[in-house]
Amino acid sequence: MRPLPVLLLMLAITTSLWRVEAAAQVLNDPTRPPAGLAPADSATGALASPILQSIMITRSERSAIIGGETVRLGGKYGEAAVIGITENEVTLRSASGTETLRMYPDVGIKRIEAATSPATGKPVKKRRGPTTTNAQGKQG
């Protein structure tokens, strides 16, 4: 073969590969939160309110991830001071007031108290009835 047709053939193949690459679908980040999770203000594009994403509590430190930024107890998130971090929420204080961010804002958590005996005031242990066995010898 002559060098010119080979070069033209290689140029045609390269150009067609660029077109295929340019037309390929852009892959979305699978770890990115859904678009509906963090509503944006339509006028400015800013978040309507900070989103609490994670809470980390160790023996020596309490910290949280708010809007992708790691903050520590006593630190700052934007103009707000982080004044409290518990297992489920973070409390921020700013010039506009105090705001509590919850890990699960739509879930109501209610603590269950152990039943106490009116006579002694001590927790009552549940008594189990006698165990029975079925025809196969299994307890039920």
Using only C-alpha atoms, the chain has a radius of gyration, in whole angstroms, of 30
Q: What is the pLDDT of residue 37?
A: 61
* Average pLDDT of every residue of the chain: 77
Identify the pLDDT of residue 132.
66
Lowest mean pLDDT among 3-7, 26-30, 32-36, 76-80: 32-36
Residue 9 pLDDT: 79
Rounded Cα distance between 47 and 98, Å, is 18
Distance CA 116, CA 20 (A): 72
Q: What SS3 class is residue 137?
A: coil
Residue 52 CB coordination number (10 Å): 21
pLDDT score, position 73: 95
Please say if the pLDDT value at position 61 is more than 70. yes
Q: Of the candidates 112, 114, 67, which has an alpha carbon nearest to the alpha carbon of residue 92?
A: 67
Q: CA-based diameter of the chain, in Å?
A: 106
3-class DSSP string for 15-37: HHHHHHHHHCCCCCCCCCCCCCC
At 45, is the pLDDT very low, low, confident or very high (cuts 50, 70, 90)? very low
Cβ–Cβ contacts within 10 Å for residue 82, how many?
21
DSSP β-ladder status, 76-77 and 80-85:
antiparallel
**Would you kindly state where each structural domain of the chain is located, as residue ranges?**
52-102
